[in-house]
Amino acid sequence: MIGKTPIHVPELFGSMVFNEPVMQEWLPEETYLALKQTMAEGLPLDLSVANVVATAMKDWALTKGATHYTHWFQPMTGVTAEKHESFITPDGSGRVIMEFSGKELIKGEPDASSFPSGGLRATFEARGYTAWDPTSYAFVRGHSLYIPTAFCSHGGEALDNKTPLLRSMEAINTQALRILRLFGNDATRVTVTVGPEQEYFLVDRKYYYSRKDLTYTGRTLFGAPPPKGQELDDHYYGFIKTRVSAYMKELDEALWALGILAKTEHNEGAPGQHELAPLFTTANVSVDHNQLTMEIMRKMAKQHDLACLLHEKPFAGINGSGKHVNWSIATTDGVNLLEPGSSPSQNAQFLLFIAAVMQAVDAHQDLLRISAASASNDQRLGGYEAPPAIVSMFIGDELEAIFEAIEHRKHYDPQHPGELYVGVDALPGIPRDVTDRNRTSPLAFTGNKFEFRMPGSSQSAAGPVTVFNTIVADSLAQFADQLEAADDFSAALNALLRQTIQAHRRILFSGNGYDAAWIQEAAQRGLMHLPTAADAIPHLTTPKNIALFERHGVFSKTELYARQEILLENYCKTLRIEAATMVEMVLRDILPAVMDYGKDLADTIVAKTGVSAEFACRAERALLLKISILTDTTYEQVTALKNTISAGVALDSYGSPATARHFNTVVLPAMAALRQTVDTLETLVSKACWPYPSYGKLIYLH
């Protein structure tokens, strides 16, 4: 039994997945080859082939205990959705048989009216479609066969996170192949590979359920700091507690059974914080796997009397949690295009791809910032544990030296002076490990991949990956246009690299991104600073961005405006829920508890002075005075907060920039002021009277 007895990992891994070995076993060879071609080349699958695949998939799933199937999709809620249908079909004699057709495999019709659509669908327009993504393996979970799908409206607009992701993968494949052809590379397909590192907190479930802020919002809205936080750096990579280790073990086994490449686990910087990192895999599969991972993390925690917190900043004053999205591109035969090759021509190709990313990041700072924008991530970005809300790029000293040499026509090796000419036969070798690590950079090149550190722990990785794919595809398209038209490829390549470096060098930064001085330097460089989601999200629909996404077929103008509205609406509603939760906690729990404690103090003063006038009760009087003043302030502040919520709700639309600005500039400061007062009260009131578990109890798991 998983988690109870020793397991054989190779046998367990993928045991609940309809993967290639299973396909080979259960499908006729002709059907298997047709399906493989569809998966490799994105070709449509003939219905007759789909019928054979569906029957085999159903028969296999029945052996795993499945009785139902579901089209599993990713609406714009940030979580997944599923509607389960049984395999049963009446046989005409009062009995049933188990059937599953190719049509049911390929297409579903869930109700689309109640998912966020940003105006793409009216409430009465209920029809939506799910379409099978054959490049992401089906799997059995519980009693159902899960079929990964895309989700779109009756009119064909994307209503999910997967459809744009798949479109962006096609865009980068098309443009990367154009570049490879110029270098004589005959690769047939380029894929994006992703490995999202997932940070999270674990807390005791009984304490989780006793705090309304955690259960309603995923983060603590009040909480005085404990005497010991993370100052000693003793939790990072430290000994994993037995209770947490047991959770990690069972989590690994559940993930491995579903074919998820869970690889690394360790304690993170804050008490109670941990990380799980997978191996790289194809982008859409990696996104599917990360969504599954987050769901299973939460479910598995319950079985260990724990709660898994995926919020970006569940506790003030200590590290928040990110989802570091590691991104790379490779040919289908396994050649990583972000790794220096063994020959000069491969090195020139490598430098061109790095330059394409450099141009993309500088030209589209706003989109990268938007891809990580949310009310919850605003709590994390800019803290000393996370990069600021300024996009910059780190490539390491050696690559910077090479770029400088190219820009100034000199050799980067001081032992061999002379002009550096980036020809396909003249470029000297480049070491494969060309960078150190810069943990403070929002986007760092780490040897053969880029690590995007801005995204938050709770969000889908699909958004950041879709943006990154699209902006890099656009740079590659521009490069290909120039080089394909050139008479002298080597000369044009040199000129292109030099021009790109000169135009976009400002985006390179190798210093401390946590330092406040960087904000001033970034402004001097002309880099964008969009400190909050309310500042960033309205940039999504600028003419530049609409043209970019339409040029590569990733989003239409209509789809972009819809997504902007959804992002703004989510931002406003998140803050409204948090503010309303604070009001309820204060009025129904905290103020009554503080008043009771004040009464106890007053009763003590009366009792002691009644015994003898010699009892001065200076401590009790001073404490009662402080608490009384803070109690009055708390009541004034909670009343003011209620008024700011009402004013926000009265505005035209949750999805408007004006409403987001109100919640950002009016509601949030009111929340911060109330929190400061209440947290001070917590340090003065007896712990026996305080209605909620303290930070110390929450973050130090026993």
Res 436 pLDDT > 60: no
At a CB cut-off of 8 Å and minimum separation 6, what does 309 contact? Answer: 200, 201, 202, 203, 208, 214, 218, 219, 321
- 3-class DSSP state of 366: helix
* pLDDT value of position 512: 87
Q: Are strands 144-153 and 68-72 parallel, antiparallel or unpaired?
A: parallel
What pLDDT is stored for residue 388 in this prediction? 83
Please report, rounded to a whole number, the percentage of residues in the chain having pLDDT higher than 90.
74
Least confident of 237-241, 366-370, 499-503, 565-569: 237-241
pLDDT band at 25 (very low <50, low <70, confident <90, very high): very high
Segment 639-654 shows an average pLDDT of 88
Question: Cβ(586)–Cβ(676) under 8 Å?
Answer: no
| Residue 233 scores a pLDDT above 60 | yes
Q: Which residues pair with 98 in a beta bridge?
A: 88
- Token pair recorded at residue 607: 């009792």
End-to-end C-alpha distance for the chain, whole angstroms: 26
Least confident of 47-51, 416-420, 557-561: 416-420
CA atoms within 13 A on the CB side of 14: 11
In terms of Cα–Cα distance, which of 454, 457, 458 is closest to 439? 454
20 three-state secondary structure: helix
Q: Which backbone phi and psi does 22 adopt, to 5 degrees?
A: -70, -40
Side chain identity at residue 345, one-letter code: S
Q: Is the pLDDT of residue 117 over 80?
A: no
Contact 219, 213 (CB under 8 A): yes
d(CA 103, CA 147): 13
Average pLDDT over residues 31-51: 85
Q: Lowest-confidence range among 102-106, 273-277, 434-438? A: 434-438
pLDDT for the residue numbered 425: 45
Beta carbons of 475 and 468 less than 8 angstroms apart: no
The answer to whether residues 275 and 265 touch, using CB atoms and an 8 Å cutoff, is yes
> Given this model, what pLDDT does residue 342 score?
67
Question: Which pLDDT belongs to residue 82?
Answer: 93
Alpha helix stretches (DSSP H) within 20-161: 20-26, 29-41, 47-63, 102-106
Is 94 a residue whose pLDDT tops 90?
no
- Highest mean pLDDT range out of 233-242, 418-427, 576-585? 576-585
Confidence of residue 415 (pLDDT cuts 50, 70, 90): very low
> What is the C-alpha separation between 684 and 697, in angstroms, rounded?
17
Report pLDDT digits (tens) over 341-399. Answer: 766 556 889 999 999 999 999 999 999 999 999 999 999 998 666 788 999 999 988 88
User: What is the residue-wise DSSP string for 453-472?
Assistant: --SBTTS-THHHHHHHHHHH
Give the model's pLDDT for residue 27: 96
Q: How far apart are CA 102 and CA 45, in angstroms?
A: 10
Helix (H, G, I), strand (E, B) or coil at 445: strand
Whether the CB-CB separation of 684 and 627 falls below 8 Å is answered with: yes
Q: Long-range pairs for 406-411 at CB < 8 Å and ≥24 separation?
A: 406/351, 406/494, 406/497, 406/498, 406/501, 407/498, 407/501, 407/502, 407/505, 409/498
What average pLDDT does range 528-546 have in this prediction? 97
pLDDT of res. 702: 74
How open is the CA angle 278-280-282, to the nearest 5 degrees? 125
Q: Are 289 and 197 in contact (CB under 8 A)?
A: no
pLDDT (average), residues 480-484: 97
Enumerate residues 6+ apart whose C-beta is below 8 A from 266: 237, 240, 274, 275
Check if the beta carbon of residue 394 is closer than 8 Å to that of residue 387: no
- Chain mean pLDDT for the chain: 90
Positive or negative torsion for Cα 638, 640, 641, 646: positive
pLDDT at 437: 62
Residue 293: per-residue pLDDT: 98
Q: Which residues contact 524 (CB under 8 A, 6 or more apart)?
A: none
Average pLDDT over residues 434-443: 72
Quote the radius of gyration of the chain (alpha carbons, Å): 28
CB 530 within 8 A of CB 369: yes
Q: Do 260 and 429 meet the contact criterion of CB atoms below 8 Å apart?
A: no
pLDDT score recorded for residue 429: 54
pLDDT tens for each residue of 135-194 = 999 999 999 999 999 998 877 889 999 999 999 999 999 999 999 999 999 999 999 999
State the pLDDT at residue 139: 97
Mean pLDDT of 574-599: 97
Side-chain-facing half-sphere of 126: CA atoms under 13 Å: 4
Give the other-Cβ count within 10 Å of 65's Cβ: 11
